[in-house]
Every structure is written in C-alpha cells, then in structure tokens.
C-alpha cells in the first residue's frame, strides 16, 4: 500500500466545472509535489511545497491552483480547464535534508483526469 | 534544457532471463539518479538510486550501473519475473535542481 494516497482516482469534468484533487502522505515527509503525466511524455513538475510553503511554480497556468494546508496534505484546485489538460496527475512527497531534490520522490497512484 | 532518454521504447524478455534497461542523459553535472517502475494504473514506484560518486549499486535482484564518461545509466533485473512487467524510467538531477524524467521503456515478460 502506497504511503501517498490520492483521491479521486478518476475524474471527468467539463470545461466550466470546478473540482479539486486531494493528496495525503503518511510518510512524515516535509516536501510535497504535483506532477502531470501525459501519454508518451516525461513527467512534468507543476508545483513544489516545502514545509507548507510553495517553493516552485513551474510556469503552470492559473487554472491550476495548489493548496498545502499542512505538511501531510496537498490539494490541486481546478477551474475552467481545457481538453489538453486531460492527463494523470501525480502527487509525490520526499524528505528533504539540506539541499533540495536530494532524496527520492514517493508517488501516489494518481488521479486520471478527463476534461470534456 | 535537460534531456533524459531511453534507447528502446519496448523490451520483451523470457521469464527467468536477465533484463537490461538503458537510459542516456545529457547534463554532465547530473549527480543523482533514480530508477522508477510504473505498473498499469499505478504511480511510479522507487526501485533504486545512485549518486555520481558511485559506478554501481545493487538491490534485491536489481543493479544500477552509472557510466559518467558516456552519460549512461542502466538497470539490470536478474531472473525477470512476470511481475516485473511495467514501464521503467530514469530520473536525474544536479545540485538541487528539479528531477528530469525519461519517457520510459515498457518491459514485457513472456511466461
């Protein structure tokens, strides 16, 4: 069983809807991430939070809005998405000590998002 | 930008044989490398990592080899089993910069 849980597993939404993706990590890590995985493309980093503060926003459109209320929970709020936003959205966590990106990422099983 | 790629998009091996999955990277400053396994319907699962001060690292049935001279990384799986069927991809970074991921190699184990 993964130490990072994501809900929902599948989501279908229209372009005018507002929905949220939820992620919870049970590993005691201090950093959390959102990644986008599209078919036949490498994982794309979207957002990084360290100790509940956003440390990186990788030029993501404003229709994606992250929220990190505490070190164990991460949300991705979605509104007015486009069909090309359909993808697998992965949450990850890591335990950073000193330098960032210095330890492995632990991923959840993702939310498969379809925008119609 | 970074470039992380794999030599072959698909690999089929007979059950019990050894598998070798390759990864090329372009940033000579990369110093930390990870192999992930992703099964259908699941997220990437950490397999093994290696830092640039090492050439080889072994885990349970897996070995990662790093050749910094030619910027090449490989994952060797011993006695491949049907449960090893998945997409495998490498990730690399340098000096605290974000990870860059390959597109993956699909491994199919033939019973």
Residues of chain B found within 8 Å of residue A99, distances taken between Cβ atoms: 95-96
User: Starting at the edge strand that comes first in sequence, how are the strands of the sheet with A64-70 ordered?
Assistant: A4-7, A18-25, A73-79, A64-70
Q: What is the pLDDT of residues B39-88, one digit of tens each?
A: 999 999 999 999 999 999 999 999 999 999 999 999 999 999 999 999 99
Phi, psi of A93 (to 5 degrees): -135, 160
Q: Using one digit for the tens of pLDDT, what is the confidence trace for A9-48? A: 999 999 888 999 999 999 999 999 999 999 878 999 999 9
The conformation of residue B66, written as its DSSP 8-state character, comes to E
What does the angle CA A106 – CA A28 – CA A62 come to, to the nearest 5 degrees? Answer: 60
Q: Distance, in angstroms, between A29 CA and closest chain B CA?
A: 15
Question: With 80 as the cut, is the pLDDT of residue A54 above it?
Answer: no
Of A83, A75, A82, A87, nearest to A113 by C-alpha is: A87
Q: A105 to chain B: which residues are within 8 Å by CB?
A: 34, 44, 46, 91, 99
| Chain A residues within an 8 Å CB radius of B59 | none
Q: Which of B89, B66, B69 is nearest to B28 (CA)?
A: B69
Q: How many CB pairs under 8 A join A and B?
A: 53
Judged by CB atoms closer than 8 Å, whether chains meet at B42 and A109 is answered as: yes
């Amino acid at each position: 069983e993964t130490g990072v849980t994501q809900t929902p597993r599948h989501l279908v939404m229209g372009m005018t809807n507002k929905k949220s993706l939820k992620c919870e990590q049970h590993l005691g890590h201090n950093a959390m991430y959102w990644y986008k995985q599209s078919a036949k493309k490498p994982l794309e980093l979207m957002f990084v939070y360290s100790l509940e503060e956003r440390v990186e926003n990788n030029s993501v459109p404003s229709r994606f809005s992250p929220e990190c209320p505490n070190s164990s929970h991460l949300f991705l709020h979605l509104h007015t998405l486009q069909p090309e936003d359909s993808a697998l959205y992965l949450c990850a966590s890591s335990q950073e000590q000193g330098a960032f990106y210095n330890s492995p990422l632990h991923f959840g099983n993702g939310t498969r998002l379809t925008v119609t | 930008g970074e470039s992380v790629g794999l030599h072959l998009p698909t690999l089929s091996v007979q059950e019990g044989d050894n598998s070798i999955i390759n990864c090329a990277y372009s940033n000579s400053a990369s110093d930390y490398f990870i192999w992930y396994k992703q099964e259908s319907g699941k997220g990437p699962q950490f397999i093994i990592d290696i830092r640039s001060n090492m050439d080889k690292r072994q885990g349970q049935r897996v070995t990662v080899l790093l050749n910094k001279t030619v910027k090449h990384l490989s994952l060797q799986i011993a006695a491949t089993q049907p449960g090893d069927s998945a997409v495998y991809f490498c990730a690399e970074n340098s000096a605290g910069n974000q990870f860059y991921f390959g597109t993956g190699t699909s491994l199919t184990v033939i019973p």
